[in-house]
Amino acid sequence: MEQPAAADNVALVTGATRGFGRAIATALCGAGATVVGAARTAAELAEVRLELGASFTAEAADAADPEKVGREFFDLFIGIGRGELLPYGSYYLTGFLNERPLARLREDLAGLGIERAERQYEPEDHAAILCEIMAGLAGGEFPAPAEAQRQIFDKHLAPWIGRFFADLAAANAADFYRRVGTLGRLFIEIETEAFALPE
C-alpha cells in the first residue's frame, strides 16, 4: 500500500523545541506536513514557529493561568445545573447518561480485568477516563492482549470522541480547553489512521 505524502498529513510532535522533537518537527514541516508542536514554554515555541513558518502550530504547557483554567473547567463541564459539554460516550451516542454504551464498555473492561478505581465516581465512558484506559493498554499497565487496544478504540472511542473534541474546540466557554479539544481531535484522527493500517 502506498503511504500518503507528508503534505497530506498533520503530525503532533511533543517536545518540539529540543533534540529529536525539534528535528522531527523540522523534517516534517520541510516535507510539507502541518505540525502541531507542544512544549513547556511559549518562548521556545515562538522561536521554532519563526524558524518553521505557518505549517507549525504551537501550544505551550505553561501558558495557562491555573485559576482561570479551573473556572473554565467548571463552566465547560460542571456549570450551574449543567456544564456546556457532557464528555460521556453514552450522552454522545444516545443523548442520555448511563445508557447501554456504558454497560457495554463495563462488560468489555471486565473481560480484560479492568475495573473502576475505588473512590472514582465518574462513569467509565468519560472522555478522560477512556483516554487513561487507552494509555494503560498502550503502555502495558493493563495485562491485556495486543488487539484489545484496537477493539476498545473502535468500539468505545471512535464512534463519538472525535465529535466531543471538536465540540470542545468550538465551545463558547473554552480558551485553554479549545486547545485541548484541537489536540484531542488531531490525536484521535492520527489514532484512527494508525489503527486502519495493515498489521
Question: How far apart, in Å, do the first and last CA atoms of the chain sit?
Answer: 12
In the prediction, which pLDDT does 104 show? 97
- 170 touches 99 (CB < 8 A): no
Assign 196 a pLDDT band (cuts: 50, 70, 90): confident
**Cα separation of 130 and 156, whole Å?**
8
What confidence score (pLDDT) does residue 56 get? Answer: 85
| Domain 66-196 fold | TorD-like (1.10.3480)
Residue range 137-154, pLDDT digits in tens: 988 888 888 889 999 999
The pLDDT of residue 62 is 61
The arithmetic mean of pLDDT across residues 89-103, rounded, is 96
Distance, CA of 164 to CA of 185 (rounded, Å): 8
Q: How much is the pTM? A: 0.74
For 6-60, CATH gives 3.40.50.720
- How many Cα atoms within 13 Å fall on the side-chain side of residue 3? 5
Q: How many CA atoms lie within 13 A of 19 on its CB side?
A: 4
DSSP E strands in the chain: the ranges are: 10-14, 34-39, 56-60
Distance between CA atoms of 107 and 101, rounded to whole angstroms? 10
Select from 99, 100, 88 the least CA-distant residue to 161. 88
Place of cell 493498554: 137
Residue ranges covered by each domain of the chain: 6-60, 66-196
pLDDT value, residue 138: 87
Per-residue exposure over 144-166, b if at least 16 CB sit within 10 Å of its own CB, e if not? beeebbbbbbeebbeebbbebbe
Mean pLDDT of 166-192: 90
User: pLDDT band at 160, cuts 50/70/90?
Assistant: very high
pLDDT for 74 equals 95
Q: Flag whether pLDDT at 132 surpasses 50.
A: yes
Distance (Å, whole) CA 25 – CA 60: 15
Predicted confidence (pLDDT) at residue 1 exceeds the cutoff of 50? no
Range ranked top by mean pLDDT from 61-65, 81-85, 164-168, 174-178: 164-168
In tens, the pLDDT along 14-67 reads: 888 888 888 888 998 888 888 888 777 778 888 888 889 888 887 666 656 788
